[in-house]
Amino acid sequence: MGTFLGVLGALVVIALVFFFIANTVGVEEGEAGRNPRLDAKVKENIKPVGAVDVGEVAAASGAAPAAARSGEQVYSAVCMACHGTGAAGAPKVGDKAAWGPRKDKGIDTLLDHAIHGFNAMPPKGTCMDCSDDELKAAIEHMLGQTGL
C-alpha cells in the first residue's frame, strides 16, 4: 500500500509541475484573459475559402442577372435524369400513353406539379434555381419531344 501511495503522490506532483509550466510558458494574454496569437490563428483557420453569389446579391451589386435557360437546357441538365429513364415512375419523354392524360389536365396543373412536387417528384425536380418560366419551358419541351 505504501508503494501505491508513493507512486500516486509522485504523479500528482508531476501533474502540478506540468500544469504550472503550461500556464506560464509562451502565454501573452490580452483582454479578458484571451491569447491574441491563438485568436488570430483560430480566425485564420475558420475563415471562408470563397463566397456564393446568389442572384439577389449579384443584382444588388450591379451584375447582370443570368439569362433564362431554354426548356431543352433545363430538361438536359435536370429533368432528363428521371424523365429520360422513367426513374421513380416518371413518365418518359416519348411515351404518349403516359403523357397524354397529364397533358389533358392542362399546362397549369403540370407546372403546379413541377413547382411543388407530385408523387415521387421532388419540388422543382431538385432544380431550386429554376424559375417558373424555365420549368414551364421544360414541360413544353418534353411534351413537344413526345409529340403532344
Phi, psi (degrees; rounded to nearest 5) at 106: 105, 155
- Residues making up the chain, counted from first to last: 148
The β-bridge partners of 84 are none
The answer, as to whether pTM is greater than 0.75, is no
Q: Is residue 131 part of a domain?
A: yes
What is the per-residue pLDDT for 51? 75
CATH number of the CATH domain containing 134: 1.10.760.10
First to last CA, the chain: 93
Strand partners, 121: 118
Per-residue pLDDT tens over the stretch 31-65? 556 778 888 888 888 888 777 766 654 555 555 55
Query: Quick check: is 57 in a domain?
Result: no
7 in a structural domain: no
Residue 98 lies in a domain: yes
Per-residue pLDDT at 60: 54
Residue 75 near residue 146 (C-beta atoms within 8 A): no
Residue 58 lies in a domain: no
Residue 16 inside a domain? The answer is no
Nearest to 75 by CA among 4, 3, 146: 146
Joined grid coordinates for residue 93: 419523354
Domain count, the chain: 1
Q: Has residue 11 been placed in a domain?
A: no
Gap between the Cα atoms of 135 and 127, Å rounded? 9
114 domain residue, yes or no: yes
Domain that holds residue 111: 71-146
Whole-angstrom CA distances from 42 to 29, 34, 39, 123 are 15, 12, 5, 40
Sites in the chain below the pLDDT cut of 50:
57
Q: What percentage of the chain exceeds 90 in pLDDT? A: 41
Cell of 18: 506540468
Is 130:78 a contact under the CB 8 Å cutoff? yes
